[in-house]
Structure 1
Amino acid sequence: MANVFRRLADSDRNVRASLYFGNLDPEVTELLMYELFIQFAPVRSLNMPKDRVLKTHQGFGFVEFKSVEDADYVLEILRGIRLYGKIVKLKKSDTPKITSSTKDQSIGVINQELISNNYIDIGAQLFINNLNSLIDEQFLKETFSKFGTLIRNPTIARDNNTGESKGYGFLTFDDFQTSDSVIEKMNGAILMNSKIHVSYAFKQDPITGQYTNVRHGDKTERLLAENAKSNKVIGSKSKKKSKVHKPKLKK
């Protein structure tokens, strides 16, 4: 079992088969979390980052299962579970890897799954920087979904060892009008006592995988988006209001 608690190398991890768990009571231990998860699926690894000084866990951790199906099943079956009176937060651990060699951190994310197959990613992706360490993905979702439709769950770049926020993340909307509005209204705004910076993220070459010096939101992307919209390629079923047919009353 000791091997279960060792941190796997990034190259040996299956992020899609992993879950993040948080909001843990100080009494919760790695062994307790292991015994909880193993009841529902085989556990490949489990890690709860600890404070380097106090040697106590920081209220969150990561668990990897044998398969993606196992992770999905555990996420569903344990949703809302309480430990020591606190609801354990569970979500897919899909934070993309960001390398430190990148000159500008405002790079795009291409491996993040769409929330729904009804959406098409036109490139309305934003880079948000200088985030307070207390801000998490759920906070970003609740804050920015008010502007329009997020087609991918917000992501925050996190330290691979501690899980702590690196202070920047990404938002992807379904149209450029919304992302333009977010930049106009939120660039320079204060979130949790921190002045955030919002801009378009850099594009990634789909062939080479290398990041370019061109940001999303350029004329080419906007033109393609307009053409797709005029040809009714872009659209979400969730946006289409269903017509309510009222039955005719017989006189």
Structure 2
Amino acid sequence: QSLGYGFVNFIRLEDAEKAVTTMNGLRLQNKTIKVSFARPSSESIKFSNLYISNLPRSMTQQELESLFADFGCIISSKILCNPKAGASKSVGFIRFDQRSEAEMAISKLNGTIPKALMAINSLNGFTLGNRVLQVSFKTNRPIPIRAF
């Protein structure tokens, strides 16, 4: 069974670059695929993926990236949505290039209602209410199985 990812070794660099530019973001079987150069594993990139909760339901992926952009190079971002309704689940992920960038974002944003977010709220007409942003390292905990 597929785990949803794979690796391809190219002989020529230009072929790899062409694959990234032409295939990244392509829709394949109702999924948007991400094609990028592999990053070598090292301690500096472990735990660089953040889990963010209590996001406003109307927040866009671009607004989420803007909120975290000052802390470093964002590799990827995602806001989870209900597949049927398309509405946000108020949860997102940000993957930074380096763990130190993720740590800085946690230290500055966790438990806060950031000024940038309040500005976005006023511009877009939505309110955060009493919600406080929760930012932590993403964990690979098992997803509970629910009976239907």
TM-score by length of 2: 0.57
Question: Is residue 2:40 matched to residue 1:117?
Answer: no
Distance in 2 of aligned mates of 1:144 and 1:93? 25
List, as ranges, runs of 4+ consecutive aligned residues in structure 1 with deviation greater than 6 Å: none
* Change over 3 Å in CA distance of 1:118–1:142 after alignment to 2: farther
Q: Secondary structure of 1:199's match?
A: strand
Distance in 2 of aligned mates of 1:120 and 1:146? 24
Distance in 2 of aligned mates of 1:160 and 1:183? 28
Aligned partner of 2:138 in structure 1 is 201
Whichever residue aligns with residue 134 of structure 1, its letter is: S
Q: Secondary structure of 1:170's match?
A: strand
* Change over 3 Å in CA distance of 1:119–1:142 after alignment to 2: farther
Q: Secondary structure of 2:135's match?
A: strand
Residue by residue over 1:119-164, the C-alpha shift from the partner in whole angstroms, topping out at 9 and shown as x without a partner, is 4573311100000011111111122122101112x11110011110
Say which of 117, 122, 129 aligns to 2:53: 129
Coordinate RMSD, CA, aligned = 3.0
Say which of 39, 62, 71 aligns to 1:147: 71
Distance in 1 of aligned mates of 2:50 and 2:91? 11
Aligned partner of 1:187 in structure 2 is 110
> Which structure has the bigger radius of gyration?
1
Aligned partner of 2:97 in structure 1 is 174
Whichever residue aligns with residue 130 of structure 1, its letter is: N
Question: Is residue 2:88 matched to residue 1:165?
Answer: yes
TM-score by length of 1: 0.35
Higher helix share: 2
Asked whether the equivalents of residues 136 and 156 of structure 1 are also in contact (C-alpha less than 8 Å), the reply is yes
Q: Secondary structure of 1:146's match?
A: helix
Distance in 2 of aligned mates of 1:178 and 1:148? 5
Question: Is residue 2:62 matched to residue 1:138?
Answer: yes
Q: Secondary structure of 1:140's match?
A: helix
Higher strand share: 1
Q: How does 1:91-106 map to 2 (within 5 A)?
A: 94=32
Whichever residue aligns with residue 107 of structure 2, its letter is: E
Which consecutive residues of structure 2, in runs of 5 or more, have no partner in the other structure? 1-21, 122-127, 144-148
Q: How does 1:200-239 map to 2 (within 5 A)?
A: 200-203=137-140, 210=142
* Change over 3 Å in CA distance of 1:119–1:195 after alignment to 2: same
Whichever residue aligns with residue 178 of structure 1, its letter is: E
Aligned partner of 1:11 in structure 2 is none
Asked which structure has the greater RCO (Cα within 8 Å, sep 6+), the reply is 2
Distance in 2 of aligned mates of 1:145 and 1:120? 23
